[in-house]
Every structure is written in C-alpha cells, then in structure tokens.
Structure 1
C-alpha cells in the first residue's frame, strides 16, 4: 500500500518558508530512496512544533501528487510515556491519503516499506465539518459529528528507526507525518451509539496466536476524547476536519512488525474481525 511521493512545489520567499520547503523535499527524497530513518540536515531541521507541522503540510502536499488528496487524519503517541520517550509533550496529528486508504481484508508487501509496522485502531467517519473553533472541541461536540465507527489497521513505515535515539527526533516524527503509509478499514457501524466505546475490547493475533489486547479506554481515556484532542489540535492550526473524512484514533495494542507470510487479525468487540496478509 505504500506509494512514492513526487517532489514539486513553488519557491517560497522567507528564510523559514525556504527551510520548510527544503525539509519537505528532503523527506520526499528519503522516502523515494528508501533510506533509513535519519535526522534532518542542520540547515532544514524544524525549529519548533509549529514549523514541524508546516513541514508536514508541505510534505503531505508533495506526497499527494502520487498518493491522492488527504481524506483522513491520525493520532500518534497518544500515550504520555511515549510522548516523553520522543521528547514531546502531546500527541502528534497526521494525514491519511486517498490511495492509501482501503477496505479489509487487505494485503501489504513488506518489501514496499523500509520496515512495516502495523497498529490496531478505532476509526471514526465524520458526518459534518469540524472547522476552527475558539476554545477547541469537547467530547460531546465531536460526538455529534461522528457518522460511523469502524475497526482499522494503520500501516506505517519507521524506515528502520533506532528507537534508542528517537528522543532527539520528536519534531521529525511530526514533520514526517507520523510515519503514516495508510489505513485499512473494517465494518462500518452507524449505530455506534449503542456501543460503549471506552469499554470495547480489541484482540490482535498473528497467524492465529494472540499477541496483544487493549480497550477503547486506552485511547486517551475514551476514543471520543482522542477525537476531541485531534479536532482541537487541527482547529488551532486553522484547519478543518471535513465531513466524509476518517480519523484513526491511536492503537489499542503495541505496534507489531510483521514478517512476510504472516496474517494479522484484529477483532474489535461489536465488529467483524479484519485481516491483513503480509506478503
């Protein structure tokens, strides 16, 4: 499911904008060349979180030429311990692109990634826009915008990152679109209000052997609290989450690094099991 990015963008004028452009192009080159994860060159490293998101926006715009327009959102590092591990103090928001969003069951080729990692998520579909809003969004307000809930895999590529050094590269995770390379969506339930989302249990198996379990409460206390954080973060950046878009809200289970030939199953309570075959 991974797809190459295509570098092309118009020149920018200010030094900061020029640095953002160089950083985005450097990321595109890294992905196209299948190079191992490495820190930014000093001349284009983001200075702060705001600049890192500016790089992400530029990188996503370049990648969209090959992968289709942005149609969804993701949350990474929803756990405070993981945030501290990479030197950040809040989760990371990212985008999902059209040609990298598919339905289950799905297949992925390990050889198409530097190092494929898979996460196990609750996804929501939006039925209305969530535009910039003073004060951000509450759980109750975002709940009004949810049209459906689905189980999901996230496919990501850490390009062989050395996790012992990630505390020096937190801003790079932001800029690199939190490593997203797509998502696989399962059964769509519009009657999701009949479910207690925080109490949903999820179970992960590889080749039939259970390898992890979690629940909706692992997503920032409640999946809708995770969605409220995401909508508020997007709002602070002056952006809108659009009706019809999908948001995946973080993994219920620790990331897995599947090998060719393995089948991953994710059973989320109240939904049909979804599968991903890795070739």
Structure 2
C-alpha cells in the first residue's frame, strides 16, 4: 500500500508539472479509500517540500451545496497551498500553466494563532483570525476531464492550482461573515452571487471542520497561514482572454486576467 501511495503521488505531481491529465484513480482502483487519498496528498506535499516549495496555508473545498452537487459528494475536502501558487491581485495568469482551470470566490482567513483539533469550534476560528481577505482560488484538476470523485480530488491536493489575494484586510470586529455578499464577474458580466453562509453556514465553520479533520493526520493550522474556507458559488471555467473579478462589497475585491 505504501508503494502504491508513493506511485500515485509521483504520477499526480508529474501530471501537474507536465500539464498532462491522468485517468481517475477511482476508476483504476475502486479499493482506494478517502484515507488513502489523504495519504497520497501528504506524500505529494512531501515531494514538493523536497523541491523547495513551502506551505503557506490550506484550503477547504466542496463546502457549498452547489459544489457538492456538481461533483456528487457529501463532504468537504482539503488541500495545501504553496508559495508558488500565490498570485498578486490584478495580475495575469498563463492558462498554459494549467490543464482546465476554473475560478472560485472565497473569503480568505489569515490566522494569528494555531488551531489544533479535535474540538475546534467556529468561535475558536474567529478568535484565532487576524483578518479576512477577498480571494479568488484558481482550481485545476490533473484528473482527466474533471471526472472526479471525492477520493480523486483529495489525492490531487484538492484540485489546488493558484490563489489571488485582494488588497483589503478586514478585522472581524463588527463583521458578519455569514451575511457577507459576493458578486462574481467574468469579462464584466455578472456570473454568480453568493454569501458567506454558502460555506457550511459560516466560513469559520468550514475552517473548524478542517482543523478537526487535519487532527486525524497530526496536522495543525498554523499562525500566519492563509486558510480558504470554500467557494461561495459554483466554480466557473475560464480560458485565455478572460478577466475575473470577485466583489465582496465592504470586504474588498480580487481580480485576475488569463492569457
């Protein structure tokens, strides 16, 4: 089993580096479990660390009903964010660096202290948050045609690719994240709207779920890490020539252009 996990991790990392899709792991090996998938992801993290890449945060995915329905799953997943994934607000991303990118709008959390499971609550998350920041997550699947089940996306680092951080940092005093609105535009056309409540009822609930889930693997959410709690609407496919902007009202905005 250990050899199999290492082989899948190398295969997925190679797929990411060469931009060549692989067939779904679940179709090749129906015996794979979600726990196996997380072990594959952690092995990939180890390989990236050996390449000199640094973890800057974590992301929760599939927290919205829209995304769970899209992928026919009933629980969230998570992935790791690395320093080479971060993109400056308003900058340009080359679609040739990815396979089939999609964009999600999220409220990013910057932690001021560690969050250690297994009994983290959303209030613990709020107390451990330095500020929130408008975020666009660019996701990409190394699995052919996005033909993924939960196990596939977990193994594939939660389909992580890049993350765009807005410029405005907002403290949580007098901020109701549950009601925080989001409008997602592509080429100035309104494509989707959402609110903080889309992520498990409250974005901090999604982060509490993550802290408690990671405890199973001996991992904690760390001070100074960026944590993404999940999309506020369904993911939107993009291609070269598109400009995407997420407007979070008082929380600010984030934008990116694709070439």
TM-score clears 0.5: yes
CA–CA distance in 2 between the matches of 1:87 and 1:267? 28
SS in structure 1 at match of 2:219:
coil
Question: Which one has the largest radius of gyration?
Answer: 1
Alignment of 1:210-229 (within 5 A): 210-229=190-209
Q: CA deviation at 1:41?
A: 8.6
Query: Counterpart of 1:123?
Result: 108
Gaps of 5+ in 1: 1-15
Q: CA deviation at 1:73?
A: 0.7
1:205-262 superposed Cα distances (whole Å, 9 cap, x missing partner): 1121111111111111011111111111112222111100001111112211122112
Q: Which moved more, 1:154-163 or 1:182-191?
A: 154-163
Which TM-score applies when normalising by structure 2?
Answer: 0.91
Q: CA deviation at 1:49?
A: 1.2
Of the three residues 231, 243, 256, the one matched with 1:263 is 243
- Displaced runs of 4 or more, over 6 A: 41-46
* 8 Å CA contact retained: 2:98, 2:140: yes
CA–CA distance in 2 between the matches of 1:152 and 1:123? 6
Which TM-score applies when normalising by structure 1?
Answer: 0.85
Gaps of 5+ in 2: none
C-alpha spacing 1:202/1:85, structure 2 compared with 1 (3 Å): closer
* 8 Å CA contact retained: 1:128, 1:243: yes
Query: Counterpart of 2:138?
Result: 155
Determine which structure has greater relative contact order: mean sequence separation of CA pairs < 8 Å that are 6+ residues apart, divided by chain length: 2
Of the three residues 56, 77, 82, the one matched with 1:92 is 77
CA–CA distance in 1 between the matches of 2:248 and 2:103? 15
* 8 Å CA contact retained: 2:65, 2:198: no
CA–CA distance in 1 between the matches of 2:54 and 2:223? 15
Q: CA deviation at 1:22?
A: 1.1
Query: Counterpart of 1:102?
Result: 87
SS in structure 2 at match of 1:250:
coil
Alignment of 1:193-232 (within 5 A): 193-232=173-212
SS in structure 2 at match of 1:199:
coil
* 8 Å CA contact retained: 1:132, 1:240: yes
* 8 Å CA contact retained: 1:36, 1:159: yes
1:137-169 superposed Cα distances (whole Å, 9 cap, x missing partner): 111111111111001010111247435x53xx3
C-alpha spacing 1:150/1:101, structure 2 compared with 1 (3 Å): same
- CA-based RMSD of the aligned residues comes to 2.2
Q: Give the number of equivalent residue pairs.
A: 259
* 8 Å CA contact retained: 2:140, 2:161: yes
Query: Counterpart of 2:163?
Result: 183
